[in-house]
Structure 1
Amino acid sequence: MVGLYATVAGADYKDSYSRGLEAVKDGDWAEVRNRMQEALADNAEPAPRIRLYGQRWEPYVPQYFLGLAAFKLGDCKTAVAQWRSAANQGVIGKVAALKAAQDRDLSICETRLAGTDKPAPDKPVTPEPVQPVRPEPKPEPAQPEPVEPSRPEPEKPKPEPVRPEPRPDPPKPEPPKPAPTTPTVAQRVPDALLGAMRAFLAGRYAEVAQLAPDTWSDPKAKAHGFLLRAAARHMQAQLEGKDATDAVRNDIRAALAIDARLVPDATVFSPRFRLLFAATR
């Protein structure tokens, strides 16, 4: 079921953007470029502040980070294009720290590009001295060699014609066997669990908190249903300022009773919930 989280969350621009921010901390600029391109493909509208998950709020500026990745990789032309795009300029001014860093790097890039645009001065061409042409000596005419009279060669016996042996017909190729099709993760996951996962990623925690996974027939789906309900109740309690620790722990114990090896995915569930999960047995 771990593949379910990667399948559903992969289409969520917030997941791609969060992974891109982690790559910025690690200095992995090729990964930053890939993740920000994924986020930009799903949502090209920047914003001064969005909620990634739980109480984590960040500015959503994928164009800025695409420009930063290009700058770090030595591509100033792409960096300037991203930073000067209308979408980025409309938001980056509201994020003071990023605006200051962008202005500094933009100035460096513009200086580099201005230096590469200047044509190199023409070098004066010095004519090479012309060497006088010496006439080549004329070759002496060749003396013809004496020709011996040709003798008629005796006739050779004609070889008998070789009859080709009949060739067997080439074997007919067998028709290719159809390749076995492997169902995708989404096809193997029950609809109830898939819908619950999408609701959780969309922040509809109240909806997920009302799940009834104990009525599901698939044991693995049931375990992940209890896990999602526990995480939804945990997030809902934090947002409303309530204490739902007992209900959350009961759902965690129900999930572990079905699958003791179950571990919440770090790309989907918040650090606080994962700590509570690890402390519950």
Structure 2
Amino acid sequence: MALIAAVPVAADYKDSYSRGLEAAKDGDWAAVRQRMQEAVQDNPTAAPRVRLYGQRWEPYVPQFYLGLAAFKQGDCATALAQWRSSQNTAVIGSVPNLKAEQDRSAASCDTRVAQQPKPEPPKTDPKSGQTTAPDGGDTPKPTPPKPEPPKPEPPKTEPKPEPPKPPPKPPETPIAQRVPGPLLDAFRNYLGGRYADVARINPDSYTDARSRAQAYLIRAAARQIQAELDNSPAGLDAARADIRAVRAASPNLVPDPALFSPRFRSLYNATR
């Protein structure tokens, strides 16, 4: 059972962008195009540096990765359009390694486009004014279509009664309404870097085991980051205690890689 990755405050453009970066590392270019397009729909403004989660900062250049994915799939027209968009050109120059890769790929695309043969225009005889095809023959004139004979009307039949439609499914309750409000606030504080506020929540105030386990998990992650910032062994011990409480409340709960840093997930897996 994974952590609530579909919470509106968590499943934002940062979540789509993080998943797109992982897909790019794996060479899954179809997934890269899908995730980066989701990120652009939520936030089209590129930025030299954004916080994805915890202490992880990355350049936010979804248009660059959309262009790279299109290039890898042989779609040079889309690749060049994405790379030359105003959002991408305003930021990509501040990311030297990505700019170098873009320049190499764009040059390759320009070469491909230049090598494509261009069709010859039709020629016109100056004396007769007749237009001929490039190979010297007359331009064929389209043959007007022959009118089709009228089709006999099909015999009239009684319409078959339509089968009864199944009753519509009741709409699912939005996940934001199934998660307690204070727990959503804790996730907002965590993603916003307000770890001290997260560390003050009381997981035992939640009556259901799932919400209580998620509260312990987010508090453990905040305590782990704060302990490393403060170089506090006691803070790490407190984070481990919260992890044990998570396992006691919900043994199958695991940290979502899109929300939690590799260091915390390593601590989580090592704590028993």
Q: TM-score, normalised by structure 2?
A: 0.78
Inter-CA distance 241–91: structure 2 relative to 1 (3 Å threshold): farther
- Deviation of the 1:10 alpha carbon: 5.7
Contact 2:3–2:253 (Cα < 8 Å) also in 1: no
Q: Does 1:273 align with 2:267?
A: no
Contact 1:36–1:65 (Cα < 8 Å) also in 2: yes
Distance across 2 between alignment mates of 1:200 and 1:256: 20
RMSD: 2.6
Distance across 1 between alignment mates of 2:256 and 2:34: 21
Other-structure match for 1:145: none
Contact 1:231–1:273 (Cα < 8 Å) also in 2: yes
Other-structure match for 2:228: 238
Residue deviations 1:97-133, cap 9 Å, x none?
A: 111111111112122223347223721229xxxxxxx
Distance across 2 between alignment mates of 1:46 and 1:211: 34
**Mind listing any 5+ residue stretches in structure 1 that lack a counterpart?**
127-169
Distance across 2 between alignment mates of 1:239 and 1:190: 29
Of 257, 263, 269, 2:254 maps to 263
Larger Rg belongs to: 1
Other-structure match for 1:82: 82
Inter-CA distance 114–237: structure 2 relative to 1 (3 Å threshold): same
Contact 1:4–1:186 (Cα < 8 Å) also in 2: no
Other-structure match for 1:125: 137
Distance across 2 between alignment mates of 1:175 and 1:85: 48
Distance across 2 between alignment mates of 1:123 and 1:9: 63
Q: TM-score, normalised by structure 1?
A: 0.75
Distance across 2 between alignment mates of 1:45 and 1:82: 13
**Mind listing any 5+ residue stretches in structure 2 that lack a counterpart?**
122-133, 139-159
- State the identity %: 58
The alignment covers a number of residue pairs equal to: 238
- Deviation of the 1:181 alpha carbon: 3.2
Contact 2:10–2:259 (Cα < 8 Å) also in 1: no
**5 Å matches for 1:7-18?**
7-8=7-8, 11-18=11-18
Q: Does 1:219 align with 2:209?
A: yes
Inter-CA distance 83–174: structure 2 relative to 1 (3 Å threshold): closer
- Deviation of the 1:71 alpha carbon: 0.9
Inter-CA distance 228–10: structure 2 relative to 1 (3 Å threshold): closer
- Deviation of the 1:232 alpha carbon: 0.9
Q: Secondary structure at the match of 1:57?
A: strand
